[in-house]
Amino acid sequence: MKVGYVSTFLPQLCGIATYTEYLIHGLQNIAPYIDIKVIAEDQAAPMKSNGFEVLPCWNRTREYATPILKHIKDLDVLHIQHENSIYGFDDRLPILLEKLPNSRKVITIHCILPAQFSPRGSVDENYARKIAKLADEVIVHLESQKAILMRLGIPEEKIEVIPHGTELSAEDQLKSRCKLQLPEEGKILLMFGFIKAHKCLHIAIEALYQILKEKNDVYLFVAGRLAPSASETEQNYVSKVKAKIKDLGLDQNVIFPNYFYPNEDVPAIFAAADIVLFPYYEENRSASGSLHLSIGAQRPVVVSRIPKFDELKNICDELLILPYNTSGIAKIVLRLFNDPEFSRYIHNSLKKYMTLTSWRNIAKKHLEIYMS
């Protein structure tokens, strides 16, 4: 069997690129007999080895259907990893899907934004409907995404809900803290990734201020910085966050190096933490790769009760809090620190879901679709 992926790919700095690499690695582990070709955007690195090839050949700013079509004639399955910022909302991707030869057409729609929350109105929904209709199988990560597609007229039997995969990690906490020059003693809360207003770093800082009233050896490690394309509004947000840290007297407890950590440091970042915070506020229907990195490192998380984190109910619904609920974050964090029975329950649930969503098991679900 020959499987092709249309996607961004490493070393391009893109969550979809990382996702695709993990999926392919999982597939290679369970089905080494499959030939895999990545038809990648032109920022990927070309590669060719036994049964695996990366062909950087297209660019999102230009007509991409023609260069992609040149490399798919011998494929049994073509799997497109879709995200709006990569492919846009024009006719290029629909044209590609319409012109595909006999390959089985699979598309993962990573994000769906309902019309009532989109600055583009119904454009997102209509585009999701269009590409889903042209595919043979549609994969989404969340039940809420499936519900939207069904409302848009996509048959239920055509949609498969497969969770985001989990990369398993077992790095040593003390060694990780030493590597990252973090405090060896005390508890560390983590916020990870590019800093954006909707991720609500200011809420995590306010929660830390409350936590420190009861437990003084707690730190917040902000492992990230502004994105290179950050707007003036986002730059102003970081300035306000830094001012809040100073106003609340948290300079010694907030570790904010304002640095983009390379992929090789990511396992150590999550291993160094005790709890990972996701106090986000957004309406996108999309899964979180960072959440699964936390799960793979067996680190408890505290997340906002929004569609993005709905799958956390499979671990423990009590870890979900209403947006902007700083006291709720503080109370859950302190209980995880002070209640061994509750903490043990969370860790056991994490292990079960980590295994269920391991990239090996996620790859098996994909292989079933490819073979059907």
* Dist CA 209 CA 205 (whole Å): 6
Specify the 3-state DSSP secondary structure of 304. Answer: strand
**Per-residue model confidence (pLDDT) at position 333:** 98
**Could you tell me the two tokens for 295?**
């799960």
Do 337 and 189 contact (CB within 8 A), yes or no? no
**Per-residue model confidence (pLDDT) at position 320:** 97
Q: What are the φ/ψ torsions at residue 17 (nearest 5 degrees)?
A: -60, -45
Domain 2-165+358-371 classified CATH 3.40.50.2000?
yes
Per-residue model confidence as pLDDT tens digits over 36-80: 999 999 999 999 999 999 999 999 999 999 999 999 988 999 999
**Per-residue model confidence (pLDDT) at position 316:** 97
Identical fold between 2-165+358-371 and 173-356: yes
For the chain, give every domain's residue range: 2-165+358-371, 173-356
**Per-residue model confidence (pLDDT) at position 227:** 83
The stretch 76-97 carries a mean pLDDT of 96
CA angle 151, 152, 154 (to 5 degrees): 95
Query: What radius of gyration, in Å, describes the C-alpha atoms of the chain?
Result: 21
Per-residue model confidence as pLDDT tens digits over 152-190: 999 999 999 999 999 999 999 999 999 999 999 999 999
Per-residue confidence at 230, pLDDT binned at 50, 70, 90?
A: confident
Per-residue confidence at 13, pLDDT binned at 50, 70, 90?
A: confident
Neighbours of 184 (CB within 10 A): 10
* Dist CA 276 CA 189 (whole Å): 6
Per-residue model confidence as pLDDT tens digits over 107-155: 999 999 999 999 999 999 999 999 999 999 999 999 999 999 999 999 9
pTM of the full structure: 0.93
The third-level CATH classification (topology) of the domain covering 173-356 is Rossmann fold (3.40.50)
